[in-house]
Amino acid sequence: MVKNGHDQSGTQRWRCNKCKKSFQLEYKYNACKRGIKELIIEQTLNSSGVGDIGRNIKINKNTVVAVLKKTLKTNPFFLTKTACQVFDNLDVEIRFSGEMDEFWSFVQKKSNQRWTWYAIERRSGCILAWHNRKRIDKDFLVLWDLLKVFDIDKYHTDNWGSYSKYIPPKNTEWERKTLGK
């Protein structure tokens, strides 16, 4: 590595002698730092809202949304109906243990809530399906339909009414969420 001048804000730039790429070691904005994208995904899976994540990491909420959209579209572990059909043709038995939850944010005012329902594979943490809308049964059923392509043995959820109405009790394990305990 050799020094390669400064950018407009005065930050030192570096250049790799082998690949000839120019880069910075220190970034002014938190969104550019290493590990931020992974931290956004981790906080999302732990039920943090977009605004909460932005405040915690000290980045703009629009950056959080952009990372989530890009990651959800390109997640290499995201299994589609076609992928499941390929596994069926190979006579491979796949058993999933799903975890379902929801988190909310709002658009312009808190009374205009938007909920993200999501399901992850419990062991791998891979996102199986998600749906954005409201916290009503109709929107849960959209997520439920998306999960039908997977052979899920057991669902781990909190005790929200939609889960108890539609998931058969033999396939459900309720998990009590306790804050601060």
Q: Where residue 2 falls among pLDDT bands split at 50, 70, 90? A: very high
Q: Is 80's pLDDT higher than 80? A: no
Q: Where are the alpha helices (DSSP H) in the chain?
A: 36-45, 50-57, 61-74, 81-89, 137-146, 161-166
Helix H or strand E encompassing 114: strand 109-121
Closest CA to 135 of 180, 156, 105: 105
- Give the number of other Cβ atoms within 10 Å of residue 64's Cβ: 27
15 or 123, higher pLDDT: 15
**How many Cβ atoms are within 10 Å of 95's Cβ, its own excluded?**
10
Percentage of residues of the chain with pLDDT beyond 90:
6
pLDDT of 79 over the 60 cut? no
Burial (0-12, 13-18, 19+ Cβ within 10 Å), 50 = buried
Q: Is the pLDDT reported for residue 4 higher than 50?
A: yes
Q: What is the mean pLDDT of the chain?
A: 78
User: What is residue 94's predicted lDDT score, i.e. its pLDDT?
Assistant: 55
Q: What does the block give as tokens for 168?
A: 């058969």
Chain segment 107-149, per-residue pLDDT in tens? 888 888 888 888 888 777 778 888 888 889 998 999 888 888 8
| Distant-in-sequence, close-in-space partners of 175: CB < 8 Å, separation ≥ 6 | 156, 157, 158
Find tokens 């943090």 and name the residue: 48
